[in-house]
Amino acid sequence: MNSVNLAYEFDLSVIGPALPTLLDGLWLTLKVATITIVASAVLGFPLAVARMSKIEVIRWPAQLYIEVFRCTPLLIQLLWVFYALPALLGVDLPGELSIIIALTAHLTAFMSETYRAGMQSVPVEQIEAARMLRLNRVQILRHIIVPQAFRQQIPTILSLNVSMFKDTSLISALGQADLTFQGNILASQTYRPMEIFTLVALIYFSIAFPATLFTSYIERRLITSGSRGAPPPASGLRGTLARMRPGQRPVELSRPALKSLLKPEGV
Amino acid sequence: MTEAKPTLDKTPDADTGTATVTDAVPDDAFLRTRGVSKSFHGRHVLKEADFRIGSGEIAVLIGKSGSGKSTLLRVIAGLEEPDAGDIDLAGQAVVRDGEYQEAWKELQGQIGMIFQSYTLWPHMNVLDNLTIAPRLALGETEAQLLDRAERALTEVGMAHHLRSRCTQLSGGERQRVAIARALMMRPRLLLCDEITSALDPPVAAEVLGVLTKLKEEEGIACGIVTHDMAFASKAADRICFFEDGLIKEDVPPEHAFNDPQTPGLQAFIDAVRF
């Protein structure tokens, strides 16, 4: 078994010349991630509503879409949209547009499930109380369910978005000049993969870590405010570790609410 | 204001086991149901319920869990559709043969309901909980509603909590705010489904005291499902005993507690005797 080469000498002189190229790649990474996150945040909502519909011809396609994108690898989805979709549609899709479509389609499936979980965690009695106070379905959704669901799911949503930011590195496999792609090129050119890939990892970390800290902060605030009806997190090391895991939160124990909302009102 | 209490034939019907209303009962009940039934997955939870509540009257529904009390309230509230039967509200037919009539749309706003769990919306403060429904459903303005919200909270002894966050309130305070929220829609009939089950006895007594006050001062009809027999004996105008989906007795409280006519009510009273 080979031993670890502790005598490796870092050549930090490659970092300075590499930075402009890496920042160029970071720009594409951030652009793709931002467009994908915003588009998925918007598209996830109608998909979640369709997924909860009582009408089967609406619910089933939504469910099929979600399962397809949840149960296939993201890289395969990227390859399929990049190579197969243009052939299927007979159009020439620009590479950047293809990857944004694929990443958005992927994240939308996860966002919709997050929205759905949030909406269904609102206790059914709250919906029934709203019905008794003569709020209509749209008003109940707008003023009662969505605000609570969104607050409930903020940590999960932020966590998904951080994951998406990291997953954009897969687009380098399609020749897109993102941060990972540029790092790969530089590592080949300089023969210093250790320095270059460490730097690339640090750049990803410097963006993702504050985001995960922010996620944990939001989560703690929501729990402290009691708006999520959850018990306070455990103290000590266990609690600290639990709080540091983005998206981790106490299990919700509420009954499905949308069942009541989508039910006929009697007339 | 309390109307004359109805007199009921306390002898259970030989076929159905249901106490039957005598001819002496006035027909001016604010709410009246006839033959209302409801099944869930083939199980008959409510069987041909004949029930009434007059304005300014408190009817307390008692019985074991699963006997149909809450289902009757939910059917009256419109949260469950009846399979069969008629419902009259304020003298108008709102359900006929299990079908909602046109009058239901107009009259359903006269029914308020309070639930066992605290149903205040936690992302809003007390004022917003009280005003959002009249603002959105009735189109009332914020200025009008602020004054009404203050009065509604005063009614339930919570005037100093107008701007409080709901998550800061105790269980009893939340239920009182829930009552105030229902009052904002000016209901003539208030249905309460085990609203004190999760409360300590003194707090439960406070909440139920609010209902008694509303009945006496506002003439609101109340249908209350409760296991608090002390309250039932003191505040109820009528006790309706449910067993296996049937209303077995519908009698004044003194009769229910001192002279139960059915073995079921006798056993229930013995079990919960305070």
A148/B121 Cβ within 8 A: yes
* pLDDT for the residue numbered B274: 52
Report the SS3 class of residue A36. Answer: helix
- As a whole number of angstroms, the distance between CA A228 and CA A221 comes to 10
**Which amino acid is located at B175 in the chain?**
Q
**Residues forming a β-bridge with B178:** none
pLDDT tens for each residue of B34-63: 999 999 998 999 999 999 999 989 999 999
Nearest chain A CA: its distance from B201 CA (Å):
23
A136/B185 Cβ within 8 A: no
Which of A131, A133, A134, A221 should be substituted to probe chain B, the one whose Cβ sees the most B Cβ atoms within 10 Å?
A133
What confidence tier does B149 reach under pLDDT thresholds 50, 70, 90?
very high
Nearest chain B CA: its distance from A55 CA (Å):
20
**Which amino acid is located at A264 in the chain?**
P
Residue of A nearest to B114 (CA): A129
Nearest chain B CA: its distance from A131 CA (Å):
8
Nearest to B117 among A125, A130, A135 (CB): A125
Is B45 within 8 Å of B38 (Cβ atoms)? yes
**pTM for this structure?**
0.73
- As a whole number of angstroms, the distance between CA A263 and CA B129 comes to 23
Which of A121, A132, A143 should be substituted to probe chain B, the one whose Cβ sees the most B Cβ atoms within 10 Å?
A132
pLDDT at A76 over 60: yes
Q: Which residues in chain B are contacts of A125 at CB distance < 8 A?
A: 115-117, 119
The region that residue B48 occupies, defined by phi over 0 for left and psi between -120 and 50 for alpha, beta otherwise, is left
* pLDDT for the residue numbered B66: 87
B136/A266 Cβ within 8 A: no
Lowest-confidence range among A169-173, B137-141, B231-235? B231-235
What confidence tier does B27 reach under pLDDT thresholds 50, 70, 90?
low
Distance in Å from the first CA to the final CA of chain A: 76
Is A253 within 8 Å of A263 (Cβ atoms)? no
Residue pairs spanning A and B at CB distance below 8 A: 71
Question: Can you tell me the mean pLDDT for A212-224?
Answer: 79
Nearest chain B CA: its distance from A59 CA (Å):
24
* pLDDT for the residue numbered A89: 87
* pLDDT for the residue numbered B144: 85
- As a whole number of angstroms, the distance between CA B223 and CA B187 comes to 12
A133/B185 Cβ within 8 A: yes
Chain B residues bordering chain A (beta-carbon distance below 8 Å) = 77-79, 81, 100, 104-105, 108-109, 111-113, 115-117, 119, 121-123, 132-133, 136-138, 167, 178, 181-182, 184-185
Q: Which residues in chain B are contacts of A143 at CB distance < 8 A?
A: 132, 136
Is A116 within 8 Å of A157 (Cβ atoms)? no
Measuring CA to CA, how many Å separate B241 from each of A74, B9, B49, B215, B245?
61, 14, 11, 21, 10
* Residue predicted with more confidence, B185 or B207: B185
Question: Can you tell me the mean pLDDT for B149-168?
Answer: 88
* pLDDT for the residue numbered B200: 78
* Residue predicted with more confidence, A236 or B207: B207
Task: Round the average pLDDT of chain B to a whole number and report it.
Answer: 84
Give this complex's ipTM.
0.82
- A166 alpha-carbon distance from chain centroid: 10
The pair of structure tokens assigned to A98 is 């293809």
pLDDT tens for each residue of B88-135: 999 899 999 999 999 998 899 899 999 988 789 999 999 999 999 999
* pLDDT for the residue numbered B93: 92
The pair of structure tokens assigned to A48 is 């979640």
Q: Nearest to residue A47, comparing CAs of A35, A38, A60? A: A60
Is A32 within 8 Å of A178 (Cβ atoms)? yes
B115/A267 Cβ within 8 A: no
Longest dimension (CA), chain B: 58
Nearest chain B CA: its distance from A260 CA (Å):
9
The pair of structure tokens assigned to B83 is 């399979």
* pLDDT for the residue numbered B2: 39
What confidence tier does A235 reach under pLDDT thresholds 50, 70, 90?
very low
Residues in chain A: 267
Instruction: Tell me if chain B has a CB within 8 Å of the CB of A266.
Output: yes
B77/A132 Cβ within 8 A: yes
